[in-house]
A and B are shown apart, each in its own frame.
Chain A
């Protein structure tokens, strides 16, 4: 009869407490792993908020600031890029495609993005997913708008719904009530800021502002729609531009070219790099979460040690029998270490099972609800390391009761006085 079998049989004999201990460890492991999965999912989703774009160009600003207003639509640009510069950049031989973005207006709290229809084919997220229309089509008419899934859900819009764009980004901004738009298309949910945006053409942004002079509406300039349509609506500026290069190798050289652009101060960022930097700023909470779940695992292991210690008294006879039949004190210690290792291993494996079963059940829902894509692939090297680490910690935790058993088995002799 091997020590392993002995430990197993002895545990089976105390299956009630053993099960509770295993369950406790399993829950803590599931928590740790679950947090890890969500953390990775969140980071991956975040890092792939925008993909397929080689550079983002805007007026001179910090990397993170440019990323925030151009992709996340948080904050405002301090300056714009002139139409001339935009044109010149677009004509560069390295440039494969370029999509302008004109920001600064809102519709009932949702940001309005002036852009070109190319936006819907060029913007990608999560590696290589393209935007798709759940209904309708891209804007065609001057007063067409394409809205994100969240906008459609929250405001109850469908294709054909009218909407009014406000100047400025405050949700109660004075409306351009005389320029009603019409929803031409609704995008599928992406889990990116696109879900919360209203997309119109660059010309539409100009059209909204023909009545305006230096930020205030001039009633006298209440120009009828037919005249607006006839006007030259070429924009004077854009806020930022997404750039795709013919070859990615040129990204750094092209970035330097933009950063040293002579006509006006501009900044170009590589979205992946800027996203990673931004994540490292907001990632502190995420690390705190990991630390908390590690503490929970630690607590479960302390519970394990105390159950094992408590079982020693009633098992002194078992130890004496083993000793009398030739077991060395080290065998006795090994038995306890094996036992705690078995409990932890079982707990860790059960915890893994919890997480994967949970993922299988919940992933579609989480994806739908939060646009967070959790991967249900095989455990990563890191997760294997966690499993091994916890099993190792379980063996180590066994050392304390093992040492105690070692001492008592040396001192007890063959007859136990209790």
Chain B
């Protein structure tokens, strides 16, 4: 899979592009500056970097949960930094499937309800999701059938990550963002999870931007990008 991405990267459409983005965390004075970063449609990129370097902060900026202080972030054709916050939230719902390291789910809702959550806020994704898409996805990702309607809080960590993956994939968003999704799993489960995730990514043809410390996972990706090659981070002392 990886050779296909490397050769075709240049003539693909861009999924998203960051230019001269600057962001400062007000409380800690941590500053992140990204000169230029592009993710192509359907491309799989592994983002690596030291702990505290700002990887999670960058993902939050990309999906519009945080707003940059400077620069532009283009998603498809639109600069999301220019959007009103309501429009930005909608773009996020329609564009991104998001998987965290852990604590992805609302523990009091069922697995399938968790999967359907983004459709509650999305517009274009909703049209893409057939009625039983949630349970289909969950089962394809290896969740036991009887766990589909179980409360998310009762599932094992590995099962919870599968539910999170299904939620990121439901309605085929163009970009999936994953922040160390396998770090809470043992290596066997992690490998199985990655294999299934990549299989589904291929199916939906979405781009994947994933953060991980585990460089063995790089076989699944078109590119490996160390954060310090695209961004500069500094820490100002806060008064």
Contacts and interface: CB of A to CB of B under 8 A. Distances in A.
Given A321-B104, A413-B65, A326 B92 contact: yes
Contact of B122 (A12, A321, A326): A326
B45 to A, nearest CB: 18
B56 A324 contact: no
A323 interface: yes
A414 B65 contact: yes
A380 interface: no
B212 to A, nearest CB: 15
Interface stretch (B10-18, B113-121, B213-221, B230-238): B113-121
A324 B122 CA distance: 12
Nearest to A331: B121
A247 interface: no
B118 A9 contact: no
Interface residues of A, number: 24
Contact of B109 (A9, A317, A413): A9
A414 B179 contact: yes
A214 interface: no
Contacts of A328: 85-86, 89, 121
B113 A326 contact: no
Interface string A329-354: 11100000000000000000000000
B115 to A, nearest CB: 10
Contact of B59 (A318, A321, A323, A414): A414
A interface secondary structure, majority: helix
Contacts of B107: 13
Contacts of B120: 1-2, 325-327
B108 A326 contact: no
Given A9-B109, A321-B104, A328-B85, A414 B63 contact: yes
B61 to A, nearest CB: 9
B106 interface: yes
A413 B57 contact: yes
A323 B118 CA distance: 10
B117 A1 contact: yes
Contact of A325 (B26, B60, B66, B121): B121
Interface in A348-400: none
B27 to A, nearest CB: 8
B118 A325 contact: yes
Interface in A2-20: 2, 6, 9-10, 12-13
B179 A415 contact: yes
B92 to A, nearest CB: 5
A232 B117 CA distance: 98
A9 B114 CA distance: 12
B56 A414 contact: yes
A326 B106 contact: no
B142 to A, nearest CB: 22
B116 A1 contact: yes
Nearest to B23: A413
B135 to A, nearest CB: 15
Contacts of A322: 106, 117
A324 B108 contact: no
B44 interface: no
A321 B99 CA distance: 10
A10 B109 CA distance: 8
A324 B85 contact: no
A326 B121 CA distance: 5
Interface of B: 26, 56-57, 59-60, 63, 65-66, 85-86, 89-90, 92-94, 98, 100, 103-109, 113, 116-118, 120-122, 167, 179
3 A-B pairs with least C-beta separation:
A326-B93, A326-B121, A13-B108
14 contacts: A9-B109, A324-B63, A324-B92, A325-B118, A326-B93, A326-B118, A326-B122, A329-B85, A413-B56, A413-B57, A413-B65, A414-B59, A414-B179, A415-B56
Given A321-B106, A330-B86, 18 more contacts: A6-B106, A323-B65, A324-B65, A325-B98, A325-B117, A325-B120, A326-B121, A327-B89, A328-B86, A328-B89, A328-B121, A329-B89, A413-B56, A414-B65, A414-B66, A414-B179, A415-B60, A415-B179
